[in-house]
Structure 1
Amino acid sequence: MSEKTLLITGASSGIGAATARQAIANGWTVGLFARSEDKLNALVDELGDKAIALPGDVTDFESVTAAMDKFADHAGGINAVYANAGTGLSAAGTDAGDPEEWERMIKVNVMGVLWTVKAAMPYLKKSTGHLLLTGSAAGRRHIAGSVYGASKWFVHGYGGNLSEEMKSFGGRCTVIAPGMVDTPFFDEPKPDKLQPEDIADAVMHALEANPRCAVNEIFLMPTQ
């Protein structure tokens, strides 16, 4: 098995795609998981034979498990998994919020993370591996009525709990917590905010830290 195999969810654009580019530049073999098969195939065409497209739905446990198994078979095992897939809300706050939209978001931001971690854990135990989760500045502070923020509080809490659980086999868990990032998550470009490459740099820092060093959280904010 290569010592550097990484599966990324939400890999078709934004932070996921930028992380895939950085990882391959650093010698990793990368599994790209997302719903958009066309975007994944285009990314594989760009990145070459160190990347494999794994189309699937993060809200479907069987889909995530099948992708994890396929990537492990392809790469000979899995050293790291980045649970990056996430979504936001169009209506802010609680009173103005849309319960159906909340449910869709929770399926991605909470259950999608749980499914990814559950499917990854047997492989990471074998490899003394590394989990990474995309948290948010919104998961480190209180925002009036924010249900999205609360979903990211879950990610931060769960990431800390995973760090404790993974100590039992020498594994590591890192929460990557950015402020506003210029990604397709937003309708309008945000050129003065963090760029996806900034987040990818943070992921690489955590992954390539000495095994004695568990980087539990990286919190990034734009200077502007």
Structure 2
Amino acid sequence: MTTFHRNRPSPLAGRVAVITGAAGGIGGAAARQLVARGARVALLDRDAEAAAALAAELGEPAAPFAVDVTDPNGLERVMAEVAGRFGGIDVVVANAGVSGPLATVSAIEPAEFEQVVDVNLLGVWRTVRAALPRVTERRGYILLTSSIAAAIPCPTVAAYAATKAAVEAFGRALRLELAHTGTGVGVAYFGAVDTGLVRGLITRPALADGLDRMPKVIGAPISPARAGAAMVNGIERRSRSVYAPWWVPGLLAVRAQVALADPLAARFPPLTRLIKDSERARP
């Protein structure tokens, strides 16, 4: 894979990047690396204090903007504020997401399922829609955060998996729609990343038991810094796809074959225990 020589200016130098879910996790790691490569970064997050703290750490190239991706009017307002402060928008990273509770479709509260859809899918749509005129004006780049959950069955987090598959499909459609404008669109696929979102899931006893039986290269989460580096490298190259860790492209390439193993997975003891536990009343 081609890398830019560290003594050469990054193509991101002087560019303006907007990141949702920017206060921590992958978004925060990507923001740090974007600033390190000379970009100016708008940190969008519903946690105003955390976004302000990261902006203070990063200094003048970064600015915090408190907004929730479930608020379309708020996103429109903030994109105008970002353009006013920085002069335009070159890159948008639609990264904000939630996992939802660990529960089967029959056990999850409808409002909880729909909140995951509201943030992970409709939040991506609202973010892109609000930024689109300014990004296409600059023949910029849009990166959408999906997951390996788009390619494998994820019982007990069906809402999360459904939204990540939908984000992938949305990104592919958007790429074709924007091709004539010179605007690039990428989709980021990550395995488990050591963020609060993932940590809250994999520490559940039933799920942890299943992960313990998987090869460590798959079961062990990678650091947010590593995921953020993959994201920023992808932005720098205007990549169609961004991956981390290294084995993710192979998994995506054989997703049709993996689906043939669904009947076997349904009889995998740790998975059956996880499903049964997730069907019980939750505290």
TM-score by length of 1: 0.92
Between the aligned partners of 2:22 and 2:153, the Cα distance in structure 1 is 28
Between the aligned partners of 1:47 and 1:141, the Cα distance in structure 2 is 37
Between the aligned partners of 1:12 and 1:162, the Cα distance in structure 2 is 26
- How many pairs were matched up? 218
Q: List alignment gaps of at least 5 residues for structure 2.
A: 1-12, 209-218, 248-283
Q: Does 1:84 align with 2:95?
A: yes
Q: List alignment gaps of at least 5 residues for structure 1.
A: none
Q: Which amino acid aligns with 1:175?
A: V
Q: Which residue in 1 is equivalent to 2:134?
A: 123
Q: Does 1:29 align with 2:40?
A: yes
SS in 1 for 2:196: coil
What do you get for the CA RMSD once the two structures are aligned?
A: 1.9
Q: Does 1:218 align with 2:228?
A: no
Q: Which amino acid aligns with 1:218?
A: V
Q: Which residue in 2 is equivalent to 1:49?
A: 60
Between the aligned partners of 1:183 and 1:85, the Cα distance in structure 2 is 12
Q: Which amino acid aligns with 1:155?
A: V
Report how far residue 97 of structure 1 moved. Answer: 2.0
Deviations 1:107-161 (A, max 9, x none): 1011101100001110011100100011001012222362210110000000111
Q: Which residue in 1 is equivalent to 2:24?
A: 13
Q: Which amino acid aligns with 2:227?
A: I
Q: Does 1:134 align with 2:158?
A: no
Q: Which amino acid aligns with 2:90?
A: N
Deviations 1:35-70 (A, max 9, x none): 111111111110000000110111010111111110
SS in 1 for 2:242: strand
Question: In structure 1, which of residues 201, 205, 212 is the aligned counterpart of residue 229 of structure 2?
Answer: 201
Q: Which amino acid aligns with 1:176?
A: A
Report how far residue 3 of structure 1 moved. Answer: 4.4
Contact 2:14 2:38 survives alignment (8 Å) = no
Q: Does 1:184 align with 2:184?
A: no
Deviations 1:80-100 (A, max 9, x none): 000000001213331222211
Between the aligned partners of 1:65 and 1:51, the Cα distance in structure 2 is 19
Contact 1:176 1:199 survives alignment (8 Å) = no
Contact 2:149 2:161 survives alignment (8 Å) = yes
Higher mean displacement: 69-78 or 185-194: 185-194
Report how far residue 173 of structure 1 moved. Answer: 0.7
Q: Which amino acid aligns with 2:25?
A: G
Larger radius of gyration: 2
Q: Which amino acid aligns with 1:207?
A: I
Identical pairs, percent: 33
Q: Which residue in 1 is equivalent to 2:5?
A: none
Report how far residue 206 of structure 1 moved. Answer: 1.6
SS in 2 for 1:180: coil
